[in-house]
Amino acid sequence: MLLAVDIGNTNITLGVYDEQVLLFTGRLATDSKTTADQYAIDLKNILELHGYGHKDIEDCIIASVVPTVATALRQAVSFLCDIVPLELGPGVKTGLNIKIDNPAQLGADLVAGAVGAINEYTLPCIVIDMGTATTISVIDENATYRGGVIAAGVRLTLKALTENTAALPSVSISAPKSVIGTNTVDSMQSGLVFGAAAMLDGLISQISDELGCFPTVVATGGLSREIVTHCKHDVIYDENLLLEGLREIYERNK
């Protein structure tokens, strides 16, 4: 079985595959203070929770935007499963043609998401990933990564509001009854949810104009499900897009 690991700034998403079948997913907190031993214990517990043992894991692929955590997790997997994980980076075959100013700057998470989209959806395609940051990747009809957009994530926006104002409270990231809020909480939720959806709609329209066509739009990431349902454009929600991309990259390199 294959263990696919996506290390984001806030969460670590795990997926265990039997060939092309995703058996289960799990999540851990991204914490640079967590040791390799602790991550090994966490991985062992998650596997056992789903009825599997660490000896069932035959290989592993890791994508990370947090190098210190990637090091700890790589050591944890090596110790627990007695394997050397494949880490997405220079020299790894992805099949993705990257046409940006400096291809080496493209984050591993964006590469995995793009590969997942190319493998699963009709091109051209826009991939939205809503996590700590909101990222938008643009893949053209030739499976070329053209570039994208990076904006502050919804939780980051909420944190900025609550920490830099005296009177605004922390609120749940959920849609209020209407765009026009009649109290502070509803007004903040409107700005967070409907504001993020409106930003996505505007960017999708402008990207479509630049491409000269309307692409497939796919969203992933922890907050996407709540936000994209309020977009005017048709957006496909794919919770496991990055894991699927990692599985595909593993297949190309094994």
Is residue 23 exposed (0-12), middle (13-18) or buried (19+ Cβ within 10 Å)? middle
- Is 149 inside a domain boundary? yes
Same domain, 83 and 116: no
- The domain boundary, picked from 22, 56, 87, lies at 87
In Å, what is the CA distance from 76 to each residue of 17, 89, 96, 246?
A: 19, 19, 29, 19
- Is 164 inside a domain boundary? yes
Q: Which phi and psi (to 5°) does residue 181 adopt?
A: -75, 140
Q: What is the pLDDT of residues 182-208, one digit of tens each?
A: 999 999 999 999 999 999 999 999 999
- Is 178 inside a domain boundary? yes
Same domain, 69 and 169: no
Same domain, 48 and 129: no
> Which of 134, 189, 133 has the alpha carbon at shortest distance from 161?
189
Predicted pLDDT of residue 19: 93
Residue 206: count other Cβ atoms within 10 Å of its Cβ. 11
In this prediction, residues 137-146 reach a mean pLDDT of: 97
- Is 197 inside a domain boundary? yes
- Is 176 inside a domain boundary? yes
In Å, what is the CA distance from 180 to each residue of 32, 76, 191, 202?
A: 40, 49, 9, 20
Predicted pLDDT of residue 165: 94
For residue 76, the enclosing domain spans 2-87
Predicted pLDDT of residue 73: 97
Copy the structure tokens of residue 173.
Answer: 């990231």
Say what percent of the chain tops pLDDT 90.
Answer: 96
Number of domains comprising the chain: 2
Same domain, 72 and 13: yes
Predicted pLDDT of residue 163: 95
The active-site residue, picked from 6, 109, 129, 238, is 109
The CATH code of the domain that includes 8 is: 3.30.420.40
- The domain boundary, picked from 61, 87, 113, lies at 87
Which residues share a beta bridge with 28?
12
The H or E element spanning position 205 is helix 195-211
Q: CA–CA separation, 75 vs 232, rounded Å? A: 45
Predicted pLDDT of residue 254: 85
Q: What is the pLDDT of residues 209-224, one digit of tens each?
A: 999 999 999 999 989 9
- Is 253 inside a domain boundary? no
Beta-strand pair 133-139/125-130: antiparallel
Same domain, 158 and 189: yes
Predicted pLDDT of residue 222: 82
pTM: 0.93
Q: Is 234 a catalytic residue?
A: no
- The domain boundary, picked from 39, 64, 87, lies at 87
Q: What is the pLDDT of residues 69-108, one digit of tens each?
A: 999 999 999 999 999 999 999 889 999 999 999 998 999 9
